[in-house]
């Protein structure tokens, strides 16, 4: 016995070392005697099951912090769980075939229940190994008390006992992981539904606390919604990184037409511009279109923030780019009422739009460039690679065709909005 292999579980729990022998060649007679000794001790354990359960719960309280907390919260439920598990384990020693299915069902239910409660898997496996060690220790103690000369026979059933423990450790881990996966899927689906409700504006006020917990965002924070579309298939992490600065607290929701980021921002602030001085510019993503809305207060207003992000996205060129709504309010007014925008473009620019294509584009380009240069013919000429007088001649022709004066502020506003409407509504 000095050279027998000791049980790892017994070493870990501090119980008496238990032999886990190599499979020896034994006769049928020895096997029968070993089973007789095992069954006699197992029946005694069944008669003394409450005391065995008390010993196991005491070990759990002493050695496993997670179970210590569970016992403090609900000692009766933990005791009953241990009692059921031990009863099925000992019954399986007496009738391996008849008790196997019931024991497996019991173990599976324990694994699933502990996963739902959030008990760590390591703690659960430790509890099962403690239970196995305790059962073996009590089998040895009972045999030593009733028939010391038969203790040596237990070595022939040790492998069966520990195979049972290993089987149920594997089973409880499988149940735990499967339940944990199912819980994760349910949480993900619930978070997706809650986020969709917030973005669509259909979420219930009563659901806001749950939404805040599920999304990891405060209910009363200040938020900006970012809409992302285009770019690589699936709108990859690179696209999202280009839309929201690193370190931002954000929940992403995948929509049919675009991905939406619900971004927590500082009080009174909008989303930081990743192109601002001192910030590392994002890597350009070809074809990626990003619309950044304006800030709103609270998760309850995220539906409004999504509408603002969609408006910003509608202004984005089809070739890609980022539009921040706060920087494009005139364009936002136009896309918010496209029919009025088209009517304005036709009323103000109609005579220019009906010119021959080459002539039309020259005049419209000159007018746009002059406005971009704050009314400077000199700078507009430099951009257009022509003399300032050429710019002035073209502008005069625009005035003649449209019937509007570029010296009159009200007319300039109309022309500017009409050009914006033509640009953003051209699709």
| Sign (positive or negative) of CA dihedral 272, 274, 277, 278 | positive
Interhelix angle for 329-336 vs 302-315, to 10°? Answer: 100
Of 240 and 380, the one with more pLDDT = 380
User: Three-class SS of residue 248?
Assistant: coil
Residue 293 · residue 309 · CB < 8 Å: yes
- List, for residues 238-291, the tens digit of each pLDDT value: 677 778 887 889 999 988 889 999 999 976 566 765 555 445 555 567 788 999
More confident residue, 23 or 424: 424
Q: What is the mean pLDDT of residues 87-91?
A: 95
Q: Where is 296: in which H helix or E strand?
A: strand 296-297
Check residue 217 and report its DSSP letter. -
Q: Are 140 and 157 in contact (CB under 8 A)?
A: no
Q: Are strands 321-324 and 288-292 parallel, antiparallel or unpaired?
A: parallel
Q: Mean per-residue pLDDT for 90-117?
A: 94
d(CA 59, CA 180): 26
pLDDT-derived band of residue 317, with 50, 70 and 90 as boundaries?
confident
The token duo for 198 is 């917030």
Task: Tell me: pLDDT of 69 over 70.
Answer: yes
Plot region of 16 (φ>0 → left; ψ -120 to 50 → alpha; else → beta): beta
Residue 346: is it exposed, middle or buried by C-beta count within 10 angstroms (0-12/13-18/19+)? middle
Computed over every residue of the chain, the mean pLDDT equals 86
The pTM for the full model equals 0.68
């Amino acid at each position: 016995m000095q050279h027998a292999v000791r049980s790892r579980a017994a070493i870990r729990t501090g119980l008496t070392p238990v032999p886990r022998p190599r499979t020896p060649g034994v006769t049928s007679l020895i096997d029968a005697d070993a089973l007789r000794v095992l069954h006699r001790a197992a029946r005694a354990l069944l008669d003394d099951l409450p005391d065995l359960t008390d010993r196991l719960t005491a070990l759990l309280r002493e050695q496993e912090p997670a179970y210590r907390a569970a016992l403090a919260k609900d000692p009766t439920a933990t005791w009953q769980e241990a009692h059921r598990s031990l009863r099925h384990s000992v019954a399986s020693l007496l009738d391996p075939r008849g008790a196997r299915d019931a024991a497996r069902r019991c173990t599976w239910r324990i694994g699933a229940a502990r996963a739902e409660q959030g008990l760590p898997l390591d703690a659960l496996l430790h509890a099962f190994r403690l239970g196995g060690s305790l059962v073996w220790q009590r089998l040895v103690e009972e045999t030593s008390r009733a028939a010391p000369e038969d203790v040596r026979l237990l070595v022939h059933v040790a492998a069966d006992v520990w195979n049972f423990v290993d089987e149920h450790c594997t089973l409880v881990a499988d149940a735990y992981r499967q339940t944990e996966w199912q819980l994760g899927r349910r949480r993900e689906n619930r978070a997706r539904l809650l986020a969709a409700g917030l973005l669509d504006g259909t979420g219930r006020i009563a659901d806001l606390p749950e939404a805040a917990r599920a999304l990891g965002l405060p209910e009363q924070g200040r938020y900006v919604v970012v809409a992302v579309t285009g770019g690589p298939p699936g709108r990859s992490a690179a696209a999202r990184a280009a839309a929201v600065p690193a370190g931002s607290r954000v929940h992403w929701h995948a929509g049919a037409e675009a991905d939406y980021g619900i971004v927590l921002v500082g009080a009174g602030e909008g989303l930081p511009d990743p192109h601002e001085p001192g910030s590392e510019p994002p890597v350009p993503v070809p074809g990626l279109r990003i619309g950044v809305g304006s800030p709103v207060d609270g998760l309850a207003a995220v539906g409004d923030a999504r509408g603002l992000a969609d408006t910003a996205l509608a202004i984005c060129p089809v070739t890609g780019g980022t539009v921040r709504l706060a920087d494009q309010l005139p364009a936002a007014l136009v896309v918010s009422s496209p029919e009025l925008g088209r009517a304005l473009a036709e009323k103000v620019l109609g005579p220019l739009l009906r010119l021959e294509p080459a002539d039309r584009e020259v005049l419209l380009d000159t007018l746009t460039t002059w406005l971009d240069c704050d009314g400077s013919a000199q700078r507009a000429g430099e951009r257009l690679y022509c003399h300032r007088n050429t710019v002035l001649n073209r502008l005069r022709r625009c005035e003649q065709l449209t019937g509007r004066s570029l010296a009159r502020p009200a007319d300039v506003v109309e022309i500017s909005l009409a050009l914006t409407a033509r640009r953003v509504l051209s699709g």
